[in-house]
Chain A
Amino acid sequence: AQKVTQAQTEISVVEKEDVTLDCVYETRDTTYYLFWYKQPPSGELVFLIRRNSFDEQNEISGRYSWNFQKSTSSFNFTITASQVVDSAVYFCALSEAQQAGTALIFGKGTTLSVSS
């Protein structure tokens, strides 16, 4: 069975602090995909990044970086020099490659609050 665990329910930081959001996943498949989405107060889920199970390269995009480690089944997300606009709920998600149309399974989300 597939499962995504985001152990941190809420994180509060002050602007310019770095923050890491943890994600641990479980799957029996050897081929799978991992995602991070941001959900601001407006409600729409905004795609941030995807990673397939064969690509363990870490990625940096501006202030965002992602660390994928298959050995620990983790796909952690770091925001450097956080800003108030980063305040949102962040979801990690997993999709197995069993068949076309397989849905994304989400973790429970981490609410990030960045204060000025």
Chain B
Amino acid sequence: DAMVIQNPRYQVTQFGKPVTLSCSQTLNHNVMYWYQQKSSQAPKLLFHYYDKDFNNEADTPDNFQSRRPNTSFCFLDIRSPGLGDAAMYLCATRGLGMNTEAFFGQGTRLTVV
């Protein structure tokens, strides 16, 4: 059974039109991450939550926002998508112990037209 679920799997949005990607987890993990992965590149961390504490990476554009209304759900909002934001967006969760792996969802592939 999938433990980290991302919806939708594929999302097409228009240039400049706000879009929201969602992630849910059944693991009850305290930490949730959003990564951006462009073609043939490593996943790049955008931000993460430790419970409700939000941690933004220094080079994450202001165009990207996130919400975590409860432990199970986390959302990625792209306020005005540009062509350069087309990518795979990966959500991951992790337990508190450092000696734990991160569990990833299947990702949402975003296309901007």
Partners in one complex: yes
List chain A positions with a Cβ less than 8 A from chain B.
31, 33, 35, 37, 42-47, 50, 52, 91, 95, 97, 100-109, 111
> Do residues A43 and B107 form an inter-chain contact, with CB atoms below 8 A?
yes
The listed residue (A42, A44, A95, A109) touching B98 by CB distance below 8 A is A95
Tell me the count of chain B residues lying within 8 A, CB to CB, of chain A: 29
| Max count, chain A CB within 10 A of own CB: residue among B42, B94, B107 | B42
> Do residues A33 and B99 form an inter-chain contact, with CB atoms below 8 A?
yes
Min CB–CB distance A50 → chain B (angstroms): 5
State whether the Cβ of B103 lies closer than 8 Å to any Cβ in chain A: yes
* Chain A residues, CB < 8 A from B42: 91, 106-109
State whether the Cβ of B70 lies closer than 8 Å to any Cβ in chain A: no
Interchain pairs with CB closer than 8 A, number: 63
A38 to B5, CA, bound (A): 18
Say yes or no: A104-B106 contact (C-beta < 8 A), given A43-B88, A45-B90, A109-B42: no
| Max count, chain A CB within 10 A of own CB: residue among B45, B49, B50, B102 | B102
> Do residues B98 and A33 form an inter-chain contact, with CB atoms below 8 A?
yes
A109 to B55, CA, bound (A): 25
> Do residues B55 and A43 form an inter-chain contact, with CB atoms below 8 A?
no
In residues 67-113 of chain B, which contact A (Cβ within 8 Å)?
Answer: 88, 90, 92, 94, 96, 98-107, 109
